[in-house]
Amino acid sequence: MPSPTDRKYTKEHEWITADGTMGITHHAQESLGDIVFVDLPKVGAELTAGKTFGTVESVKAVSDLYAPVSGTITEVNETLATAPEQVNKDAHGSWMLKLKLSNPSEMDSLLSAADYDKFVTEEAGH
């Protein structure tokens, strides 16, 4: 399943759109299995590119979430607090945070959909 081309990706399996909407990839949710809890920061929190900002807990493990870019959180998807399984159902449609980017040029260092898909394939050893 190719990744949507309307966003950029990280090697930690997060995605972000040009308007600062972000979440985790289909590959990430597939690797995690059934997601039971998503721990996200509050509106107004500052994120730094490459630093952790929350966690996703599944029946298998707890995984850190990494900020693809720096910015200020303008919105948090509150639905995930009571329905974290939404991420399993539609990882690319279930956003987690919306950011006001502090340095939009950071997007330039992220992976395109094609590069991300290639990375996932190589990571899996195929």
Q: Which domains does the chain have, with CATH numbers?
A: 9-105 (2.40.50.100)
- Kindly report the pTM of this predicted structure: 0.95
State in Å, rounded, how far the first CA of the chain is from the last one: 15
pLDDT of 125 > 90? The answer is no
Question: Nearest to residue 71, comparing CAs of 91, 43, 111?
Answer: 43
Question: How far, in Å, CA of 63 to CA of 58, rounded?
Answer: 8
At residue 103, the pLDDT reads: 95
Q: Indicate the SS3 state at residue 88.
A: helix
pLDDT, one tens digit per residue, over 14-65 is 999 999 999 999 999 999 999 999 999 999 999 999 999 999 999 999 999 9
